Amino acid sequence: MLVFHILTLFPEFFSGPMDVSILKRAKEKGLVRIELLNIRDFSKDKHRKVDDYPYGGGAGMVMKPEPIFEAVEYASCTVDAEKRKVILLSPQGSVFNQDMARELAKQEHIILICGHYEGVDERVKTIITDEISLGDFVLTGGEIPALAIVDATSRLIPGVLGSNESLKEESFSSGLLEYPQYTRPEVYRGLKVPEVLLSGNHREIERFRRKEALRRTLEKRPDLFKKLKLTQEDKSLLEEMGFGCQD
């Protein structure tokens, strides 16, 4: 079982997303446990204050170190784990990707600290193992990144998804964007399903899907495409589509 502790000022944010679909089934199967800790519960202030003005002046408030330190210590004591990550969700962190999700799925315990206001006291960074961001944009707090990390990581745990094949074929799992998908009806408003998918020829279907995945990745995410190790067949498929030799 992989245990997540999410340290947040707004535990109510997570009511709903954690109790539907894949995450709900993962919890029911006993493969994932998700615990929410309200950082305010670890404040020594009678008003449960968790922020204060920054030393040196400046706009906004900074999250105090004491409640976060104590919340992390509490979470660490409740789970006996050799493989543990303590992650601060922060715009200064490394941008989250599928490789990170795979690495996190190997852990036994993940503590996610949701930042807020102008950030956290710098001393908090002495107790973290990683600092992660969702990208170069501003969010109100770390709750949305925490939810994204829990979802992306949980689905990689064996047994969480119904089919390992589904996992292998998803976008990013192989370094490629996923090929186009179709279902019934065969024709809708004059738009037809490609004939090859109706042929029953599994070799040709596989070839078509690989070709389209290559096309999509090259056209939509050239940054990902550059990282691919192309096979000789991949190069042949690209030449068929008129993309020329890709090295």
* 20 Cβ contact partners less than 8 Å away, ≥ 6 residues apart: none
Helices and strands counted in the chain (H then E): 8, 9
7 among annotated binding-site residues: no
CB atoms within 10 A of CB 20: 9
200 among annotated binding-site residues: no
72 among annotated binding-site residues: no
139 among annotated binding-site residues: yes
134 among annotated binding-site residues: yes
25: tokens are 């089934």
CA-nearest of 139, 127, 52, 137 to 88 is: 127
19 among annotated binding-site residues: no
How far, in Å, are 72, 199, 232 from residue 240 at the CA level?
A: 55, 20, 13
13 among annotated binding-site residues: no
Mark the binding-site residues for S-adenosyl-L-methionine, compressed into ranges.
115, 134-139
Mark the binding-site residues, compressed into ranges.
115, 134-139
